[in-house]
Amino acid sequence: MKRSVTIAGHRTSISLEEEFWEALCEIAREIGVSVNALVGTIDKGRTTNLSSAIRVFVLDRYRDPET
């Protein structure tokens, strides 16, 4: 599924499976930030494409919820 987000004032499209979008939204709610803000944070620290970085972030978060 492709969704648009805004990172540092720029719109971009990200393709993720629905399950990853749902998990990303859930994590954003849990930590009290917008999805755009969370994606922006992930974007700043990534070393691969953004979709992959988001998947790894979600996976890491569910492996270790303390992060």
Domain ranges within the chain, ordered by starting residue: 2-63
pTM of the model: 0.89
Given 3-state DSSP classes, what are the helix, strand and coil percentages for the chain, each rounded to the nearest 5? 55, 20, 25
pLDDT tens digit at each of 67 positions of the chain? 899 999 989 999 999 999 999 999 999 999 999 999 999 999 998 989 999 999 999 999 999 877 6
- pLDDT recorded at residue 67: 65
- pLDDT recorded at residue 1: 83
One-letter amino acid for residue 21 of the chain: W
User: Are the C-beta atoms of 42 and 6 separated by less than 8 Å?
Assistant: no
